[in-house]
Amino acid sequence: MFLFLLFVTPFVFAENNYFRLVIHGGAGDITEQNISEELKKEHEKKLTEALQAGYTILSQGGDSIDAVQAAVMVMEDSPLYNAGKGASLTVDNKVELDASIMDGRDHKAGAVAGVSHIRNPIMAAYKVMTKSPYVMMGGIGAEEFAQAEGLDIVEPSYFIIESRTEQLKKVKEISQKVEQEKGVNAALYQDPLMYDYKYGTVGAVAVDIRGNLAAATSTGGTTNKHYGRIGDSPIIGAGTYADNNTIAISTTGLGEAFIRTVAAYDVAAQIKYRQTPLAEAAKNTLNSVQEMGGAGGMIAVDNKGNFIMQFNTKGMFRGTIGQDGVPQVAIYGL
């Protein structure tokens, strides 16, 4: 009987009858007053498209690591989000992109930071994870590596859209006031929510039918950031984390606060060491982020398919899909 169980059990339980994908498109001051009905519909459509890209993979028995990448790429290619095309601009009118990805099966991870020519930074992060001995690469080195790996390289102008140029102009006006009033360099005195009503970073987490977890995050960072500034999104443990025994998680918000609280890992650690329920762990970490003067949100999933989409801002672009294939998307707070 024992032998029978020993050989049969792994086979019987090798596949779950469930899987789940959860995505976000950034948190912030997202309210009905700030978003037109038309823009809301565009977001709902794009979030659904991102969910479907991941669902196609997961429903065919594909890996969560591929599903999160596919979902993030849809949002990187959309000018609606602050990642890839349409990313927010630096103080000197440029785009500097950060991204990371992590595989919960073996804790392998990859990240790129401060890149300006890679069309899909999340693919570059994946290549760092799978084709290099490193976890993180930055700047020109990362770009040359991505090119050698056959990824699409584009002119920086590909990423820049008019509304971001307008946004930067407005932010600079506010910055000048801050500089006059507070006597500080506004590009260093960062509170993006003061300048913009949303962050717009994108992320995805998933559990596949084998119970494997994965997480991915991609961003242009904060508007008017000093060139060279790197946020939490490419930092494993702050913006992204995945571990099959606890959770896969992706965060969005004021990066400095998420780095200082080691936010993504902080949620996982509460579950690992204290068996804290996921929603409670996320709340605790968001409270710590707030204590550091930050705001934002996070999505996470565990290997049972339990998930959260939590934020301490007014709203967060978000969505989820499971084995029933019905996409659910939301924008405002509850």
Of 231 and 327, which CB lies nearer to ligand ASP in the complex structure?
Answer: 231
Considering only the stretches 45-53, 135-143, 226-234, 298-306, report the one whose residues sit in contact with ligand ASP under the rule CB under 6 A. Answer: 226-234
* Interface pick for ligand ASP out of 62, 253, 319, 322 (rule CB under 6 A): 253
122-181 positions binding ligand ASP, by CB under 6 A? none
Of residues 48, 90, 201, 320, which has the active-site annotation? 201
Under the binding rule (CB under 6 A), the answer on residue 86 touching ligand ASP is: no
Q: How far apart (Å, rounded) are the C-alpha atoms in residues 160 and 55?
A: 30
Q: How far apart (Å, rounded) are the C-alpha atoms in residues 134 and 137?
A: 7
Of 54 and 220, which CB lies nearer to ligand ASP in the complex structure?
Answer: 220
Q: Tell me, by CB under 6 A, how many residues bind ligand ASP.
A: 15
* Interface pick for ligand ASP out of 64, 82, 175, 240 (rule CB under 6 A): 82
Pairing of strands 136-138, 108-115: parallel
* Interface pick for ligand ASP out of 76, 77, 96, 232 (rule CB under 6 A): 232
Is 322 in contact with 305 (CB distance < 8 Å)?
yes
* Interface pick for ligand ASP out of 233, 270, 313, 320 (rule CB under 6 A): 233
Q: Is 320 a catalytic residue?
A: no
Residue 303: φ, ψ to 5°: -75, 0
Under the binding rule (CB under 6 A), the answer on residue 190 touching ligand ASP is: no
Specify the amino acid at residue 125.
A
Is 108 in contact with 129 (CB distance < 8 Å)?
yes
Q: How far apart (Å, rounded) are the C-alpha atoms in residues 20 and 309?
A: 13
Considering only the stretches 38-46, 127-135, 248-256, 264-272, report the one whose residues sit in contact with ligand ASP under the rule CB under 6 A. Answer: 248-256
Of 59 and 175, which CB lies nearer to ligand ASP in the complex structure?
Answer: 175
For the CA atoms of 15, 18, 24, 30, what is the dihedral angle to 10 degrees?
Answer: -170
3-62 positions binding ligand ASP, by CB under 6 A? 26
Q: Which helix (H) or strand (E) holds 311?
A: strand 307-311
Q: How far apart (Å, rounded) are the C-alpha atoms in residues 66 and 16?
A: 18
Specify the amino acid at residue 209.
I
Residues that bind ligand ASP (CB under 6 A): 26, 82, 199-201, 219, 221-222, 231-233, 252-255
User: Could you list the active site residues?
Assistant: 201
